[in-house]
């Protein structure tokens, strides 16, 4: 078995596509009409081949409540890995991304949370080797 799709819930698929492509730098992979909504996925140019992030329409009322509760509690919906968190932090901040603080070292990772403009918090994480200072 393998992980192929991971979803984030979004209230506006087009706005989410613009954020994830134009701001984060992801590439649109699939865009298939499904009636009122779309099967809409993006991939990371630095990511693992074949893994797609689904920009999942937030049309189910309980999902809307869940997304809002996660956001208000400060719980990230998912995490993205960075090879250079300081550079990514600076680049994304210059593009208007709202961060919830500065990157912090936490043992073998550095982490910072940002808002994706779609009602989600996203963890940006940089793993460090065990012997790195």
**Spatial CA neighbour of 110 closest among 91, 94, 129, 95:** 129
Q: From residue 91, give the alpha-carbon distance in Å to each of 16, 84, 98.
A: 19, 11, 12
> What would the pLDDT profile of 43-52 be if each residue is shown by its tens digit?
999 988 899 9
CATH number, span 5-127: 3.10.180.10
pLDDT over threshold 70, residue 131: no
pLDDT of 70: 97
* Residue 80, number of CB atoms within 10 A of its CB: 18
């Amino acid at each position: 078995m393998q992980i192929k799709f991971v979803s984030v819930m979004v209230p506006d698929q087009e706005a989410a596509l613009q954020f994830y492509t134009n701001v984060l730098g992801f590439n649109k992979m699939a865009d298939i009409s499904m009636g009122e909504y779309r099967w809409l996925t993006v991939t990371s140019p630095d990511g693992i081949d074949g893994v797609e992030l689904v920009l999942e329409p937030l049309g189910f009322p309980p999902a809307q409540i869940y997304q809002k509760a996660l956001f208000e509690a400060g719980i990230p919906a998912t995490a993205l890995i960075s090879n250079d968190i300081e550079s990514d932090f600076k680049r994304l901040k210059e593009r208007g991304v709202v961060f919830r603080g500065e990157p912090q070292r936490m043992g073998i990772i550095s982490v910072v949370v940002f808002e994706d403009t779609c009602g989600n918090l996203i963890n940006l994480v940089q793993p460090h080797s065990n012997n790195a200072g």
